[in-house]
Amino acid sequence: MARTRIGFTFLVFACTAGLLAQRTIQDKNNQTLVAPRDPPLVAAGQTSRLMFHVSPLSGQGLFSQQTRDALKAILKLNGGAQIVHIRAFSAGSGDVRRIPQIVSDVLADKHGSLPSISVLQVGALTMGDAQIVLEAVSEAKKDVNRDGLTFHSAEIAAASDPSSPVRALLQKAAEQLAAKINGKPALSVTCFVSALEGAGMTATLTARFPGAATNLVQLRRLPLDAEAACEGVSRGGGVAMPRVAFSGTQVSFATEEKDTALAIQRLDRALLEAGAPKAGNSALVRFYLVPPAPSAVPARQLDGPAPSSAFYVEGVGSSSAGFAVDAVAPVR
C-alpha cells in the first residue's frame, strides 16, 4: 500500500511538473511574441540622402506574397537602406488595410524606424496579374542630393471626349512635367491615366525621363474622363531644408466641410509634431478622392499656398471613406 501511494504521488508530481514545464514554455513563447509595430503617420529623412525606387511588377502568388516580394525588391534596389516612406497602389482583390501590417512584418528584423505609408486602391497596373506596386523613398548612406529636391504637383492633360486616346494625353502630361522640371535630373515620375493602352505607354515615360524611377497606374476601373496626370521629383531647387517629412494617408470618412477640416487638422497636428509646417505650407499635398466626393472641398481647407493635386481612385482603405490626403513637407 505504501509503495502504491508513493508511486501514485510520484506520478502526480511528474504529471504536474510536466504541465508546469509545458506552461512555462508556453508562457516563455508568449513573452517572446512581439506585437507588430504600427507605422508612423509621419516619417522624415535627410534631404541630401533621399533616393526613390519603384518595385518591379510580379504576377506570382497572392496579394500578401506579392506585397512581401515587392518590399524585398525595394530593399535590394536601395541596398538595404532605411525606407522612409512607401506609397502603395493595389489593383487586386486583397485587403489594402493589410499592407501596413505586412510592411511591419517584413521590416521587423531591421532595427530602424518604420516608414510612413500611403495606401491606395486603384483600377489597374501595367501587368495583368500584378496586384500591387510600391513607390519607396529611402535614405542613402551618403549624400546624393546636395542641391536639394523639388516636388512637382501633377500636370494634367484631359479631353472633353471620354473616348479620346489616352496615349496622346500621357505624352502631353509628361511633356508638361518635363517643362516644369526644366532640364534638372528627374528622380521619380508617377503618371496616372484613365486607361492603359499597351506597353508603349510605359516606354513613353522611361524614354522621356531616363534614369528616373517611373510608375504608371490606371486610377479607376471605370474612368470618369479621358485624362492623364504626371507628377515627379527632381534634384535641385525647392526643398533645401536638412530634412523632409512624408506623411501617410490621413483618411476622412465624409466629405462635408467640417469632416474635411478635421482630417486636415489631424494631418497638421502630425506634421507639427514631426517639426514640419502645416499642410498648407508644405512642399506638396495630394488628395485621393473616392467618387462622388467633390475635389474642391478638401483643397479649400488648406491654410497656405502649398501646391496640391487631386486624383479620383477606387478606394483609400475603407469602403466608407470619402477621401485621403498625404503631404510632403520640409522639416525645420
**Phi, psi for residue 184 in degrees, rounded to 5:** -80, 155
Please report whether residue 198 resides in a domain.
yes
Residue 159's domain spans which residues? 149-238
Read off the CATH number of the domain in which 182 is found.
Answer: 3.30.1330.40
Please report whether residue 98 resides in a domain.
no
Please report whether residue 101 resides in a domain.
no
Q: What is the pLDDT of residues 40-88, one digit of tens each?
A: 999 999 999 999 999 999 999 999 999 999 999 999 999 999 999 999 9
Domain count for the chain, please give it.
1
Q: Cα 307–310–316 angle (5° rounding)?
A: 125
Please report whether residue 329 resides in a domain.
no
Please report whether residue 297 resides in a domain.
no
Q: Which residue has the higher pLDDT, 65 or 31?
A: 65
Pairing mode, strands 149-159 and 213-218: unpaired
Please report whether residue 176 resides in a domain.
yes
> How confident is the model at residue 300, as a pLDDT?
84
- Lookup: cell for 58: 510580379
Q: What percentage of the chain exceeds 90 in pLDDT?
A: 70
Taking the C-alpha atoms of residue 245 and residue 282, their distance in angstroms, rounded to an integer, is 9
Taking the C-alpha atoms of residue 323 and residue 310, their distance in angstroms, rounded to an integer, is 10
Taking the C-alpha atoms of residue 284 and residue 309, their distance in angstroms, rounded to an integer, is 8
Please report whether residue 174 resides in a domain.
yes
> How confident is the model at residue 24, as a pLDDT?
37
Rounded to two decimals, what is the model's pTM? 0.88
H or E element, residue 150: strand 149-159
Closest-CA residue to 151 (of 235, 241, 91, 263):
235
Pairing mode, strands 308-312 and 250-252: unpaired
> How confident is the model at residue 67, as a pLDDT?
97
Taking the C-alpha atoms of residue 123 and residue 133, their distance in angstroms, rounded to an integer, is 12
Please report whether residue 215 resides in a domain.
yes
